Structure 1
Amino acid sequence: MKKNYLPFAALLTGTVLWLACANDPAGTTKAPSAATGSAAVQSGQSAVQDDESRKDVVKTAMVSADHTTLVKALQAAGYVDALSNAGPFTVFAPVNAAFDKLPAGTLAALLKPEKKDDLRNILEYHVYIGVLKPETLTDGQTFGQANGNNISITVKDGKTMVNGASITASVPVSNGIIHVVDAVLLPPEK
């Protein structure tokens, strides 16, 4: 005897839609579109609205007046969603003045679509997968970054530096930690 599950599936689908509409008196639930097969425009983790929890790496940078250039670079590289994910990440975040120290025209060139791979390489050099708390950073350590290259930690006279850039502040975030640095870290030439 063959069983036909089609009527059961239709009933189940109808029940789910009825429950969704019954629990949405304002009528904000949208039916799946034929073109996309989804109920809403797909967004990444950066689109999640949460005003209660500690902010993630990107949301913290976005509210910092000193990191507008970094945010612009993350957007151009398409890394906003990646750094909004659970992590954990350690991000060495150059301030705007650090980008100003680059040779004239360098930043403008890196923000062009045809230089996206170069920009991504530089940004990945600023990211460690894991959490490196300030108290765990000691002189002579090296860490492998997201782009596959290593950074070096130096501690001298109580000042912690990464590849010669001073860490001026450390900010815990929901998905790791941000170490504010006063220079852009440039990966070694390949």
Structure 2
Amino acid sequence: MKQLFIVLPLLLLMACGQQAADSNTETTAAPLAGGQSNVKDDTSEPDVVRIAVNSNVHKTLVAALKAANYVDALSNAGPFTVFAPTDDAFAKLPAGTVDNLVKPENKETLQNILEYHVYVGNIREELVQDGMTLNQVNLDNVTLNKDGDGNITVNGAKVLGVVKASNGMVYVIDTVLLPPDKK
């Protein structure tokens, strides 16, 4: 009887293993180009990119993310804390700056600016402390300040709102953050 209990599971394992080895299945699904940013999911909490894409005030930021090829990177699991300048924030830059930055020959500069807006980690609003320093993706620091009323600034840029994303937090800001000159 003991031998039956030992032999029967072994036979089942061997049969399952043989069946898997014999099956010749073909996949007809085309590979998904573009990474996770192409996955449509209308029921889950949106990621930081979907929040920007669905926003009426972040069209310039989305165009910059596309020009720098950062849509997929920020669609990944994260977590990320993104300081997202509004269209009005970009409009405060000198005339022609945005048009110049999105040119292919300026991709590296644009990437550096965008990386200065991203921290790898999830900094929730209640965790922000006055004078807090974050080391951004481009390896430069930003300083967060919080006054007695709970108003937050990032390097002087006012935080207009905070949105929780599936892969982090989005802090909507009124000014484009420019990394320090490394001369």
TM-score bracket for this pair, using the shorter chain length: 0.7 to 0.9
2:161 to 158, 166, 169: 169
Matched, 1:108 2:99: yes
Q: 1:73 matched to which residue of 2? A: 64
Q: Distance in 2 between matches of 1:112 and 1:94?
A: 19
Q: 2:178 matched to which residue of 1? A: 186
Q: 1:15 matched to which residue of 2? A: 24
The structure-2 alpha-carbon separation of the partners of 1:14 and 1:94, relative to structure 1 and needing over 3 Å to count, comes to: same
Consecutive unaligned residues of structure 2, counting only runs of 5 or more, are 1-19
Q: 2:84 matched to which residue of 1? A: 93
Q: Distance in 2 between matches of 1:165 and 1:102?
A: 13
The structure-2 alpha-carbon separation of the partners of 1:13 and 1:188, relative to structure 1 and needing over 3 Å to count, comes to: farther
Consecutive unaligned residues of structure 1, counting only runs of 5 or more, are 1-10, 21-28, 31-38
TM-score, normalising length: structure 1: 0.81
Aligned residues: 163
2:153 partner letter: M
Alignment of 1:28-177 (within 5 A): 29-30=28-29, 39-40=30-31, 42-158=33-149, 159-177=151-169
Residue aligned with 1:65, SS: coil
Residue aligned with 1:132, SS: coil
Shift of 1:102: 0.4
2:31 partner letter: A
Residue aligned with 1:93, SS: strand
2:42 partner letter: D
Cα RMSD after superposing both structures = 1.7
Alpha-carbon displacement from aligned partner over 1:52-93 (angstroms, at most 9, x marks no partner): 111101111101000000000000000000000000000000
Residue aligned with 2:142, SS: strand
Percent of aligned pairs with the same residue? 52
TM-score, normalising length: structure 2: 0.84
Q: Distance in 1 between matches of 2:66 and 2:75?
A: 12
